[in-house]
């Protein structure tokens, strides 16, 4: 089997998870080259790597480069992405700088892997909440055609980055100790609270945030239909790992809960957990550290023609970022075989 040289730009939460997943899945690589702002040694999952400074020549000889910046982190792919492509590297970018670029496929492999067919060397990972939603919506759209999506997301603090994870941990300790809670990552206390704003306000979509806009534009691009109507409310919740989403869908034709369960049970990367009479439904605790997304609470939505409601949960750092990127590379390797 051919072996590949792999680069990872950034060694935060997503970059660290990428290293773990490459090893777990026995990705056929004979080198993992980690790049960051400064040269140093880092230990990841018991393995020590010599991190090199990110500069154009750092990409020489690589087959794949994963840009692993946490959502909202700017700069690395703007500075080095297309430069790496010019050096013969296939770039898979977790950031949002090029997602809506016409040159760049936006891919969830289980949903629209065929979009990779004529890629130009640069591929984008969708937003974490979009990926998790698409795992449920993609198979249903293929079967019945989606007209409209209304989603409310409940997003873990790990989506903000390592500093937010530490902040929630510290606030928990401070609360138990009866101390004043400190905050820095968020404008308000996140412990025992929810924050109905993720990202800055989007000027071209009055009242909506950048995170909410991503669901609209990314869903349309991934599903291949610019006519789909999307309205999203994104909420940060005091959970460490695992985004959850309540989604109401309007289809082109009627879809019963039974049909939806059958479609989703057959979908790659999805598990149906839908027995509320026994308190069985998707939970962020149950997806943390797992590859699959869970879907449940599947029921009719009588407020819309051909309506259906459901609840989905997935690990935002894993399937919502690191795993999806590596699956893109695996898909490309399989295409070449």
Per-residue pLDDT, 45? 80
Q: Report the percent of the chain where pLDDT is more than 70.
A: 99
| Assessment of whether the complete model's pTM goes beyond 0.85 | yes
How crowded is residue 332: how many other Cβ atoms within 10 Å of its Cβ? 19
Based on the fold, state whether residues 91 and 154 are members of the same structural domain. no
- Cα dihedral sign, 80-85-88-93: positive
Q: Which two tokens stand for residue 195?
A: 């924050």
Active site residue 128: yes
Mean per-residue pLDDT, 139-156: 98
Q: Is the pLDDT score of 337 beyond 80?
A: no
pLDDT tens digits for 225-267?
A: 999 999 999 999 999 999 999 999 999 999 999 999 999 999 9
Q: Give the residue carrying structure tokens 């439904």.
A: 281
Q: Which residues of 75-104 are buried (b: 16+ CB within 10 A; e: fewer)?
A: ebbeebbbbbbebebbbbbbbbbbbeeeeb
Based on the fold, state whether residues 37 and 98 are members of the same structural domain. yes
Q: Is the pLDDT score of 69 beyond 90?
A: no
The average confidence (pLDDT) of the chain is 96
Based on the fold, state whether residues 34 and 153 are members of the same structural domain. no
Q: Give the active site residue among 29, 119, 234, 243.
A: 243
Axis-axis angle for helices 323-336, 13-24 (nearest 10): 40
Per-residue pLDDT, 265? 98
Looking at residue 297, which CATH number applies to its domain? 3.30.360.10
Looking at residue 327, which CATH number applies to its domain? 3.40.50.720
DSSP sequence for 49-87: EEEEE--GGGGTT-SEEEE-PPTT--SHHHHHHHHHHHT
Based on the fold, state whether residues 120 and 167 are members of the same structural domain. no
Q: Give the residue carrying structure tokens 């929630």.
A: 168
Per-residue pLDDT, 70? 52
Q: Name residue 63's beta-bridge partners.
A: none
* Domain with 281 in it: 130-316
Per-residue pLDDT, 314? 98
Q: Give the active site residue among 29, 128, 234, 293.
A: 128
The terminus-to-terminus CA distance of the chain in angstroms comes to 10
Mean per-residue pLDDT, 333-337: 88
Based on the fold, state whether residues 151 and 121 are members of the same structural domain. no
Residues 154/224, Cβ–Cβ less than 8 Å: no
Based on the fold, state whether residues 275 and 226 are members of the same structural domain. yes
pLDDT tens digits for 164-200?
A: 999 999 999 999 999 999 999 999 999 999 999 999 9
Question: Could you tell me whether strands 64-67 and 47-53 are parallel, antiparallel, or unpaired per DSSP bridges?
Answer: unpaired
Based on the fold, state whether residues 198 and 311 are members of the same structural domain. yes
pLDDT tens digits for 86-126?
A: 999 999 999 999 999 999 999 999 999 999 999 999 999 99
Based on the fold, state whether residues 240 and 281 are members of the same structural domain. yes
Based on the fold, state whether residues 93 and 177 are members of the same structural domain. no
In a 10 Å sphere around its CB, with 0-12 CB exposed, 13-18 middle and 19+ buried, how is residue 162 labelled?
Answer: middle
Mean per-residue pLDDT, 136-152: 98
Report the domain count for the chain. Answer: 2
Based on the fold, state whether residues 183 and 286 are members of the same structural domain. yes
Q: Is the pLDDT score of 71 beyond 60?
A: no
Per-residue pLDDT, 232? 98
Q: Is the pLDDT score of 72 beyond 90?
A: no
**CA angle, 158 then 71 then 202, to 5°:** 115
């Amino acid at each position: 089997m051919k072996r590949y040289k792999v680069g990872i730009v950034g060694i935060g939460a997503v970059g660290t998870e990428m290293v773990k997943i490459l090893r777990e899945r026995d990705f056929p690589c004979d080198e993992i080259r980690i790049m960051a702002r400064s040269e140093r040694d880092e230990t990841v999952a018991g393995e020590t790597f010599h991190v090199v400074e990110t500069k154009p020549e750092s990409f020489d000889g690589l087959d794949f480069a994963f840009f692993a910046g946490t959502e909202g982190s700017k700069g690395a792919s703007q500075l080095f992405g297309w430069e790496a492509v010019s050096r013969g590297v296939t770039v898979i970018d977790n950031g949002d700088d090029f997602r809506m670029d016409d040159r760049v496929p936006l891919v969830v492999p289980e949903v629209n892997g065929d979009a990779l067919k004529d890629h130009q060397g640069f591929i984008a990972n969708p937003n974490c909440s979009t990926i998790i939603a698409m795992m449920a919506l993609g198979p249903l759209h293929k079967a019945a055609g989606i007209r409209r999506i209304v989603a409310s997301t409940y997003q873990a603090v790990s989506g903000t980055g390592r500093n937010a994870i530490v902040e929630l941990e510290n606030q928990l300790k401070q609360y138990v100790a009866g101390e004043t809670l400190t905050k820095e990552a968020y404008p308000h206390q996140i412990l025992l609270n929810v924050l109905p704003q993720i990202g800055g306000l989007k000027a071209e979509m009055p009242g909506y945030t950048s995170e909410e806009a991503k669901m609209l534009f990314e869903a349309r691009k991934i599903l291949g239909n610019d006519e789909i109507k999307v309205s999203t409310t994104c909420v940060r919740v005091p959970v460490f790992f695992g985004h959850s989403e309540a989604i109401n869908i309007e289809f082109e034709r009627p879809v019963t809960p039974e049909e939806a369960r059958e479609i989703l049970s057959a979908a790659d990367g999805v598990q149906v957990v839908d027995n509320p009479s026994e308190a069985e439904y998707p939970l962020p605790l149950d997806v943390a550290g797992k590859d699959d997304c869970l879907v449940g609470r599947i029921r009719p939505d009588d407020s819309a023609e051909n309506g259906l409601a459901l609840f989905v949960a997935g690990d935002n750092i894993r399937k919502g970022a690191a795993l999806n990127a590596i699956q893109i590379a695996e898909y490309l390797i399989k295409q070449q075989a």
